[in-house]
Structure 1
């Protein structure tokens, strides 16, 4: 009788252990299997670029990169509630993927040979160009018009240096910590132009408070092929993301995302690029 009691207790303990094991998954991994369920996927984006990747005051995320990332994640089997957007600074993007902090990054991430040594890229999903943002009534129509004018970009940016060294050596370069400061300086007249990727400039110009006040010069000073970065060697994720991007273009969701995020700025975007087609 005593032996049977011990066996029953042991059996009960075993059942409880198995039950706890079966229910113990917390569902917080970004496993990337696309299986849905309780899993989450972590995606790196920018938090401070209107029209591309922006964390709004209420906590909502918006922008073209956000729309693309959301579409891709859904194609991989994740619903909106399973997507966790993680702020990924430009200088930390490669490390964030290597550490496994995020499954993928969609954050105005230009595909370059140097970066491809460290990460793999799906896409590209947008072809942007370095350009100038100027006031709507500005007469600046070419790069050399910047000679003697005040040009703004962020500290450490290569965009302004490209203009200064190759196009308008007599431009007065002003550098601020963020593009929002440059935009404010452009509005006040402290600078005559702001330079970076046209998609970033269009995102700022499309904000309601700036509607009709600015325009893009349309100079196409460089080619920037935005891709979705994944950990080096993650071929499975790479192929699935490329398939999702192709579907997004085919079903019209890509065009809608462009119009929703850049439309108010009259952004003359390039057609959706083909997967693997890098424009030099």
Structure 2
């Protein structure tokens, strides 16, 4: 079922009513804040994505947005009744995802957002819509052949990510971990030699390795260190989950999901798993 936006006539009546009864509003009219509930009949919908993840969520030099997460979010928005030009994209760094949802700054988030029990205590999820695996990005002339090697490395990941937590809790508790706000900062450290490896999901790493300026510099280590189920993040108690799940399933059934994977991740040589079964239903 699509969300229905107010008709032009209804909007005109509402505008006249507000003009007659009030001089202004206490809300910030910046066009970039969501309601946490699908826009609440608004003419726009605000969606959180990453701005610096090639192949997934990237703000391009001309100000447009590209990537698999962008395509998934755009498809979902269309099923909710919003055209691409109705979407307000909100940059969503990993440490801020829960805060953005709790404050209602975004209507939902599609930003390599792994579903975990800890996160589900404060936010809801729809999906999952993708399965990735944690790996390492290393310099092209180096090798890491086993998990035991990781404890001797200086690693970088992003604050608030499951990848950073996995390093501490599971496979490399003795590694020197440097958390940053963005993966781009980690990549700079890897290039200048202050970092031995960038660790996060293989989808993200493949996108960076495939960038024109990085070809031949970096490679994936090829270690499947975890399984990450990407979900659509929602404010706790949001009534959008069923509609978003239906949109994801339709995207899969119609072949649009596979086409988006191939378009965005295929050039990096990434071989994705089949679309996952939707599990976040209550």
Alpha-carbon deviations, 1:23-66, whole Å to 9, x = none? 6599x78673898xx71111111222222222223211122211
What SS does the aligned partner of 1:58 have? Answer: coil
What SS does the aligned partner of 1:269 have? Answer: coil
C-alpha spacing 1:107/1:277, structure 2 compared with 1 (3 Å): same
Q: Which of the numbers 266, 269, 272 marks the counterpart of 1:269? A: 272
C-alpha spacing 1:104/1:175, structure 2 compared with 1 (3 Å): closer
The answer for unaligned runs of 5 or more in structure 2 is 1-9, 19-30
Distance 2:120 2:160 in 1: 22
1:193 deviates by 2.0
Q: Which of the numbers 255, 259, 275 marks the counterpart of 1:256? A: 259
Distance 2:271 2:160 in 1: 27
After superposition, residues 1-280 of structure 1 pair within 5 angstroms as: 21=13, 24=16, 32=38, 39-154=43-158, 159-160=163-164, 162-163=166-167, 166-168=170-172, 171-235=175-239, 237-276=240-279
* Superposition RMSD in Å: 3.2
Alpha-carbon deviations, 1:177-218, whole Å to 9, x = none? 532232233334444321112222122112121134322222
Query: Whose Rg is larger?
Result: 1
C-alpha spacing 1:151/1:120, structure 2 compared with 1 (3 Å): closer
C-alpha spacing 1:40/1:173, structure 2 compared with 1 (3 Å): closer
Distance 2:135 2:247 in 1: 29
Distance 2:161 2:238 in 1: 30
Distance 2:105 2:160 in 1: 26
Contact 1:211/1:265 (8 A) holds in 2: no
Q: TM-score, normalised by structure 2?
A: 0.77
Distance 2:79 2:158 in 1: 36
1:13 aligns with none
Q: TM-score, normalised by structure 1?
A: 0.78
Distance 1:178 1:190 in 2: 16
State the aligned residue count: 257
